[in-house]
Structure 1
Amino acid sequence: MSHTNFKPTLRLLDATMIVAGSMIGSGIFIVSADITRNVGSAGWLIAVWLITGFMTITAALSYGELSAMFPKAGGQYVYLKEAYNPLVGFLYGWSFFSVIQTATIAAVAVAFAKFAAYIFPSISEDKVAVDLGILAISPAQLISILVIVILTYINTRGIKSGKTIQTTFTLTKLLSLFGLILFGILAFRQDLWNSTWTNAWSLQSRTPSGVLGEYTTFAALGAIAAAMVGSIFSSDSWNNVTFIAGEIKNPQRNIGLSLFLGTLIVTVIYVLTNLVYLSVLPLNEIAGAEKDRVGVTAAQVIFGGAGTLIIALMIMVSTFGCNNGLILAGARVYYTMAKDGLFFKKAGSLNNNDVPGYALWFQCVFACAWSLSGKYGQLLDMISFVVVGFYMLTIAGIFILRKQRPDADRPYKAFGYPLLPVIYILMGLSFCILLIIFKPEFTWPGLIITLLGIPIYYGIRKRV
């Protein structure tokens, strides 16, 4: 038996936990190493996280207007379709399925497996479980696939199963991060802090052995953009709550409020966590952390010998909860696309548990395929460029819809309009341009995948 309507069962707390839980994965424990190598100083490390936080909160406040206008499943796909045309909406949906969501699910699952290997060395990413000649599959990759399959199955059992995992794991990791911050404050080293902040605003390239040198003005902008790839990836997926609007109680109010609360909570935690890193580790050790695992290095200083185990457990909880939110929300986009005739027809149906079961399994298969690549860093770089591009288009859609539909019902209007949305668009545009100039090898793959959606779209339309 196939059902036709979603049931609104999620409260404000549940929605906020989806926002925060989908954002916090493993990035906060890893990417500060690369950021430090790019910007080289304490002030700019914190500035990168603050700039990213400002952009994220600004975008979330802007999305509140769109979510109140279109409180139904599909979120950003629906906003782009309504503001522009079905092609733009499809390009987002296509990119979302082929790169943005599925590759993020894969990257987070691989991170879960990598840190699980601290507790269970036999599943290390450095071992080979299956050798296919052209492809060697590690135990960590097999574990990542297992996690994706298990979470997908749980979410096919109904929204209550998914929300229970999401709320439980997100509250656990928020408390764990606050615990890390508290113990980090207790381990505060005044001499190190004074030394680290002596030359806090010198923008320079840094290696574990020391500073390589300061940038020219233009190169400095490129370094900031390159550094923000990691912070943006770590702060992404906040918009996932908009995809499940049809299952949220009082969506006109609760989606916008959950977006603001969730992004604010995560931004504060991210900045405080990086201040803890700076209070217990010299910059060279942050930049040169083994396999970029700054969280592990800091935890060893804060907790001693038990630090590695503590941080590994924290990251396992964090990534497991993060992936649950991504898997839960992502399938609703494919469901809405299928209803528009732009995705596999089966994805447009709900199962006996009132969730899009087929859409969940389609997503699962593609995410598992991505997991076999195991290239966390490359996935990270590829996703950030595409994601920010679509965020800019979506926020620009607010201006378009205000002009085209001035009398439309807007229970909530974008805070700071038009100034804050314009600032976000300008900052996002600067980020994307600088990334194209300074990191082209990590931007064109995502762009090509997005543009491949154009012939696919017209091919689908011919069949309809």
Structure 2
Amino acid sequence: MHQNEFKPTLSLLDGTMIVAGSMIGSGIFIVSADMLRNVGSSGWLMIVWLITGFMTVAAAVSYGELSSMFPKAGGQYVYLKESYNPLVGFLYGWSFFAVIQTGTIAAVGVAFSKFTAYLIPGVSEDRVLLEMGSFHISPAQVLSIVTIIILTWINTRGVKNGKIIQTTFTITKLVSIFGLIACGLIATKGDVWQGNWGAADTWSLHKLNVDGSVASYTTVAALGAIAAAMVGSIFSSVAWEGVTFIAGEIKNPKRNVGLSLFLGTFIVSIVYFLANIMYTAVLPLQEIATAEKDRVAVAASHAIFGDIGTYVIAVMIMISTFGCNNGLILAGARVYYTMAKDGLFFRKTGELNNYAVPEFGLWIQCVVACLLCLSGKYGDLLDMVSFVVVIFYVLTILGIFILRKKRPDAERPYKAFGYPVLPALFIVMGLAFCLLLIVYKPNFTWPGLIIVLSGIPIYYLAVAKRKTE
């Protein structure tokens, strides 16, 4: 027997844990190395994290207005469709399916496997299980696929199962990360802190090369360096909007979706800032910038706990990435469900199973994510995720202004905090970030734009098919 509608079973705590748990994956443990190479100093590393945190919270509280207007499954897809037209909504949904959600699930799954290899060397990404010419499969890829399949199956058995995993793993990872930060600050090395924060160039923006040399920027190139550094911090801060996709399963969604967005993003932004303060308290800047495979948290944990630190951080990242992927998998299929209801996705995706979840959508998401794991191209895809995601964030928040004009009398139980200043400021900062990437890091931009625009002919084919049915 199939259910006809979603069941509202998730509390404010569950929603907040979905926001925080989906945001914290492996990024915060890795991206600071590349960010520091771009900005060159501890002061500017913190500034970039503060800018990203401000943008994230500003966007989240702005989404609160939209979530209170449209408290149903589909979230951002629905907001874009209602603000603009069905095509814009579909382009988001298509990009979400093709790269944003599935690519992130694949990358987080592989990150889980990479750190599992610290405990079980047999699943290392450096080993080869199968090789056919240039194509090869590693144990890490197989393990990532297995975890994605297991989490998908659990989430097909009802949202309550997914929520138990999400809340348990997110609380565990938050407690463990705060514990690591506390231990790091207690173990602060005076000479390291003085070298990172007492030097004359603490607030200097420059390029830090792996050999220890520095290179100055022109004023314009400095803006490009900030944008390049923000790719890492923004990638670590995306996926908070996942709670809007499952609004139909949140209790009192007009209140709790917006509140969970604020609480989740605020908590994570604090965690990220403090984690980077901790890195600079125990590691010289050069060691952060040159950490092996950019694994800054491993180097920091080793500095705090000694040899056992490697295993401590490996377990933490395994918990973090497993919980993160559960949140991504749980939320993503609700977008495809809503698109199917509009006749713009596989019809079967618009059906709920007897556990009141879109099982078919969960499985096709699983298949695409697993194929991306096998392709080995998940890293390339994620290079463009930050650019594509910010474009749709900007369009969605611009939609608040559009809907205020188009539907001035619509019910708005919650209004965007700081409107119009805060939403407008996010739009300006988001556009500046995207424009700087277009100029200075085109490899992060044009592939993503091609994927988005490739959805246009697919949309019109879907519309034509719908008309003939």
Which interval holds the TM-score relative to the shorter structure? Answer: over 0.9
Q: For the Cα contact (< 8 Å) 1:208–1:285, is it kept in 2?
A: no
Q: For the Cα contact (< 8 Å) 2:105–2:325, is it kept in 1?
A: yes
Alignment partner, residue 163 of structure 1: 163
Q: For the Cα contact (< 8 Å) 2:22–2:327, is it kept in 1?
A: yes
Secondary structure of the residue aligned to 2:3 is coil
CA distance in 2: counterparts of 1:347 and 1:426, whole angstroms = 36
CA distance in 2: counterparts of 1:50 and 1:340, whole angstroms = 39
Give the partner amino acid of 1:100: I
Give the partner amino acid of 1:300: H
Alignment partner, residue 37 of structure 1: 37
Give the partner amino acid of 1:353: Y
Question: Which stretches of structure 1, 4 residues or longer, exceed 2 Å deviation after superposition?
Answer: 373-380
1:109-188 matches, within 5 Å, as 109-188=109-188
CA deviation after TM superposition for structure 1 residue 2, in Å: 1.6
How many residues align structurally?
464
Q: For the Cα contact (< 8 Å) 1:27–1:230, is it kept in 2?
A: yes
CA distance in 1: counterparts of 2:435 and 2:371, whole angstroms = 30
CA deviation after TM superposition for structure 1 residue 200, in Å: 1.2
Alignment partner, residue 381 of structure 2: 379
CA distance in 2: counterparts of 1:268 and 1:453, whole angstroms = 37
Alignment partner, residue 339 of structure 2: 337
Deviation string 1:152-202 (CA, Å, 9 cap, x unpaired) is 000000000000000000000000000001100111012211111212111
**1:194 aligned onto 2:191:** no
Q: Of residues 301, 304, 309 in structure 2, which corresponds to 1:302?
A: 304
* Aligned-CA RMSD value: 0.8
Secondary structure of the residue aligned to 1:6 is coil
1:231-270 matches, within 5 Å, as 231-270=233-272
CA distance in 2: counterparts of 1:104 and 1:328, whole angstroms = 13
CA distance in 2: counterparts of 1:297 and 1:195, whole angstroms = 18
CA distance in 2: counterparts of 1:316 and 1:379, whole angstroms = 22
Structure 2 regions of 5+ residues with no counterpart? none
**1:274 aligned onto 2:276:** yes
TM-score (norm 2): 0.98
Give the partner amino acid of 2:395: L
Alignment partner, residue 95 of structure 2: 95
1:57-76 matches, within 5 Å, as 57-76=57-76
CA deviation after TM superposition for structure 1 residue 212, in Å: 2.5
CA distance in 2: counterparts of 1:65 and 1:322, whole angstroms = 25
**1:358 aligned onto 2:360:** yes
Alignment partner, residue 417 of structure 2: 415
Alignment partner, residue 448 of structure 2: 446
Secondary structure of the residue aligned to 1:172 is helix
Give the partner amino acid of 1:338: A
CA deviation after TM superposition for structure 1 residue 376, in Å: 5.1
Give the partner amino acid of 2:270: V
State percent identity of aligned pairs: 70
CA deviation after TM superposition for structure 1 residue 345, in Å: 0.4
**1:226 aligned onto 2:228:** yes
Structure 1 regions of 5+ residues with no counterpart? none
Deviation string 1:423-442 (CA, Å, 9 cap, x unpaired) is 00000001001111111112
Deviation string 1:10-48 (CA, Å, 9 cap, x unpaired) is 000000000000000000000000000100100011111
Give the partner amino acid of 1:92: Y
Secondary structure of the residue aligned to 1:210 is coil
Give the partner amino acid of 1:82: E
CA distance in 1: counterparts of 2:185 and 2:378, whole angstroms = 30
TM-score (norm 1): 0.99
CA distance in 2: counterparts of 1:407 and 1:49, whole angstroms = 38
Q: Which moved more, 1:438-447 or 1:75-84?
A: 438-447
